[in-house]
Amino acid sequence: MIVEAAPAKINLALHVRHRRADGYHEIETLFAFARDGDVVSVEASGAPSLEIVGPFASNLNAGADNLVTRAAAAFAAATGIDAEHRIRLDKRLPIASGIGGGSADAAATLRALSRLHGVALDDPRIGAVAAGLGADVPACLSGRTAFGSGRGDALSALDGLGGTPLLLVNPGVAVSTAAVFAGWDGVDRGGIPDGALLARARQGRNDLETVARRVAPAIAAVRDLLDAAPGVRLARMSGSGATCFALFADDGARDAAAEAAAARGWWTLATALA
């Protein structure tokens, strides 16, 4: 059995530049990854199956439209490897929450299948499959801090902030990525500046947060709590929401903020940047 982590993705900054002719949006983003997230396990089997377990399993179905199932089918089609697999997804991250859960799961599935069948992860066929599954999947496939442009799938590796205490908070609200992008006002407010990663992130923004707050007003309450937390270095909404994140100076400050968020009934994950 091959076991692959599917860590949460965060957008330290997310600038939307314009809508493209293909329906996607041209963006600039700073991708980073948590140390924790979902877990995907894959093994060869005489009968293909997808089992979903974990605290958020009930919100997903294991049908053909699941990104894990689609990743497995696309891997087989691209590589010509005719094999059946038993796949287990331990769903620990909330659904439709702006932290790349489905994309991370698809990427972990591709990594696991590649390891199982001896396919190099930098094989162009795997990269093409990842890009075809979704704009965030290539970043999740690499799992490295990166600057993303284009749809978010043109990646340049960056020196990260590995080990920085990280808190994720979700108020228990699912937000539609399509609805949030559709509500973007179309104003190009400029790109992400150059410089050291944390400075770039602080000077940046998330252009989707204003829209997401209209869809899910609880985001504002989460941001208020995180912004006011002692020891916070940066707080922002990730992706299209509703999950927000905060980077902290130390574990104690992070854990205190996590306790305060959990006391409100919100989902929290106290972790660190990978």
DSSP one-letter string for 29-56: EEEEEEEEEEEEEEEE-SS-EEEEESTT
Q: From the candidates 105, 136, 153, 207, give the one annotated as an active-site residue.
A: 136
- Residue 9 a catalytic site member: yes
Alpha-carbon distance 9 to 140, whole Å?
7
Give the torsion through C-alpha atoms of 108, 112, 113, 118, to 10 deg.
Answer: 130
Q: From the candidates 9, 36, 38, 153, give the one annotated as an active-site residue.
A: 9
Alpha-carbon distance 69 to 43, whole Å?
14
Beta strands in the chain (DSSP E): 2-19, 25-44, 49-53, 85-90, 146-149, 154-157, 165-170, 232-237, 244-248, 267-272
- Residue 91 a catalytic site member: no
Residues forming the active site: 9, 136
